[in-house]
Structure 1
Amino acid sequence: MSQRAFHYEQKRLENDFVALEPFDPAIHATRFVKDIKANPSLLTYVSLPIGDTTEDFIEFYGRHFGSSPEACIYVVFDKIVISKKGESDLKDNYAGTLALTSTSPVNACTEIGVMISPAFQRTHVATNAIGLLLLYTLDPLPAGGLGLRRVEWKTHAENAASRRAALRMGFEFEGVARWNRVFPGGEVVLPVEALEERNGTKGELPGRHTAIYSIVWDEWDEKRPKIVALMNLKR
C-alpha cells in the first residue's frame, strides 16, 4: 500500500544494492517497532514516541504520516545480504527507514530523515538508500525525478555521526538553529530550568539545537556524479 496522502508519487526505488519500499503499516510496523526496541540507541537524538506496542506506533503513524501530505516513510532493504538458502529474501534484510518530511510543492523542498539499523550503518546501505532518495527528489522530471529546488538534512547539533554523514553525501552546512524545537524524547536534551524561571511555564519541555544542511537544485548537476560514485563503491 503506497502513501496515498503524500504530495508526490511515492514509488518504489531500488538499485543493485538496496530497495526502498513505501511504508505499509500492515506489513512493516511490527518489524520497525522490533528494530527500535532492539536498538534503543536509534532514539538517542530522535524524538519518536513509538509507544509500547505495534498498535501504538500504527496509531502514531496514522496521525503524523498516514494522513499528512507533507510526509512519507520508506523501508530500506539490503539486497546484498543473501539468505541461508542462497537466495535474496528482502523480508529478512530489513535495514531501517528513510523519511521525507516538511514537503512543500509550493516551495519545491523536502527534508530527509534517516534511521538505519546499527548493523547496516557505515555500509553500502545508508549511502545507496540516501543516494536513491536524492536522485528521486532532485533529478528533473524528464529523468524520472521530482525536480525539487531544495532537500534539507536537519539533525541534533550533538549528533556527530549524522553530521558527518550529511557532509559525506554532499550536503552543505548552513548553520545551527539554536533552541529551534522542543525535544521531549531522546537522551541528549538541553535543560530548561532557567527558561521555566524566565517565562513562568511549568513543565517546560527540554529542547535541542539543530544543525541544518542542504543540497539545492542549481548545484545538483555538479554534485550528482560524486554521489553516484559513492553509491557504486563496493563495501
Structure 2
Amino acid sequence: MSFINSYKPTLEVIEPTYGADPYDVNFLYPLPPVLETALVKLTPFIPRVHAQRYLTQTSTNPDLFRHFALQHSTLDEFLPRVESFIRRDPGMIVFAIVDKTKPSDVEGEEGAFAGTTGLIKTSSENLTTEIGPVVTFPAFRRTHVTTQASALLLRWVLDLPSASPPGLGFRRVQWTAHPDNVGSRRLAEKLGMNFEGRMRWTFVFQENEDGEMVREGKKVRRGDPLEKREGRDNVMYAVCWDDWENGSRELVMELLNRTG
C-alpha cells in the first residue's frame, strides 16, 4: 500500500492588529459577569487598552522573563502573537489583573493594571486547564495581587455549575513553572496545589530580533535541528476536583476573603 504526506506549513503572516471593537476574546466558555474580590478584579486583556501598558512595564523589566520561554519588546512583535496564539485559540483566555487598592491608570477601571493571568490548554472534553501566563509587574510583586488573581481562577474553574456564583466544574487545574522559579512554585503550593513531578525538555527558548538568546537554558546536543536555541524543563503542580472538595476549596476561599 502506498502513501503520501501532503502537509505544508502554514505561512500566514499576521499583521499587527488591535482587533475589532468590541474585542472578541473567542474563549470556549462564557465569561462570568464579574471576577473580583475586595482587592482585585480580572478583566479580559484587550490589546487596544492593555498592550502598550503591558509592554511599557515588561520591556523595561527584563527580569520578569528570566524563566519564560519568550518575551516581546515592541507592539509589532507582540500584537501578532496575541492574535495568533491567544485570541485564535479558543482554549486560551488572558485577563488583565486590576489592583483595586491602587489609583486607576486605565480609563473606566476602578484600579491599576497590575499584570496578567489566564487559562491555557483548556479542554472541554477532558475538563482540564492550566493557569497562565502569569506576569506580575514589579510594583505589585509580594502583594495580594498574584495570589488573589490565581485563587479567583481556581474558584471559577473548579466550583460546580450549581455553585453560587457558578463555576465550570472542571476536574483538574494545573500549574507549570521553571524549576528555578521559586516564587512561582511557592505560589502554587500556597494555593494548595500538589507537586506532580519534573517534565524535561518541554520548551525551546526563543531568539530575539538580533538572533541572541533571550534567556539561558539547557544546552542541546550537536546537530540538534534548533541547535542555537536552548531548552528548559518544567515542574508540574495540580489541584483536582477531589482535592478541591477535600480541603483545597476552604484554603482558596480563605485567601479570597482577605481584605488587606
What does 1:134-213 correspond to in 2, within 5 Å? Answer: 134-143=154-163, 144-184=166-206, 186-192=214-220, 195-197=221-223, 201=225, 203-213=227-237
How far has the Cα of 1:65 moved from its partner? 0.6
Aligned pairs, number: 227
CA distance in 2, matches of 1:47, 1:140: 34
Q: Give me the TM-score of the superposition, normalised by structure 2.
A: 0.80
Structure 1 pair 134/75, CA: closer, same or farther in 2 (3 Å)? same
Q: Give 1:89 shift.
A: 7.3
CA distance in 1, matches of 2:24, 2:141: 26
Aligned AA (1:77): V
Which entry has the higher C-alpha Rg, 1 or 2?
2
User: Which amino acid is 2:256 matched to?
Assistant: M
**1 CA distance for matches of 2:255 and 2:31?**
24
Which residue number in structure 1 is paired with residue 244 of structure 2?
220
Give the alignment of 1:11-50 within 5 angstroms: 11=32, 12-50=34-72
Give the C-alpha shift of residue 83 in structure 1.
6.2
SS at match of 1:141: coil
> Could you tell me which of 128, 137, 146 is aligned with 1:126?
146
AA at the equivalent of 1:196: R
| CA–CA separation in structure 2 for the residues paired with 1:234 and 1:188 | 39
Q: Which residue of 2 aligns with 1:101?
A: 120
Q: Distance in 2 between matches of 1:101 and 1:189?
A: 23
| Deviation of 1:118 (Å) | 1.9
4+ residue runs over 6 A deviation? none
Higher strand content, 1 or 2: 1
Aligned-pair identity (%): 35
User: Could you tell me how far apart the structure 2 residues matched to 1:3 and 1:166 are?
Assistant: 30
1:68 aligns with 2:89: yes
CA distance in 1, matches of 2:160, 2:230: 40
Q: Secondary structure at the match of 1:7?
A: coil
Structure 1 residues 177 and 58: alpha-carbon distance in aligned structure 2, compared to 1, 3 A threshold: same
TM-score of the two chains, using structure 1 as the length reference: 0.88
Deviations 1:95-135 (CA, angstroms, capped at 9, x unpaired)? 00002111111111011011111221221111111111111
Which residue number corresponds to residue 135 of structure 2?
115
Q: What's the CA shift for 1:76? A: 0.3
Give the deviation of 1:170 after TM superposition: 0.9
Shift of 1:188: 3.8
- Structure 2 counterpart SS, 1:142: coil
What CA distance in whole angstroms lies between the structure 2 residues aligned with 1:168 and 1:63?
33
Q: Can you give the 5+ residue segments of structure 1 that lack an aligned partner in the other structure?
A: none
Displacement of 1:3 after TM fit?
Answer: 4.7
The letter for the 2-side match of 1:228 is M
> Over aligned residues, Cα RMSD in angstroms?
2.2
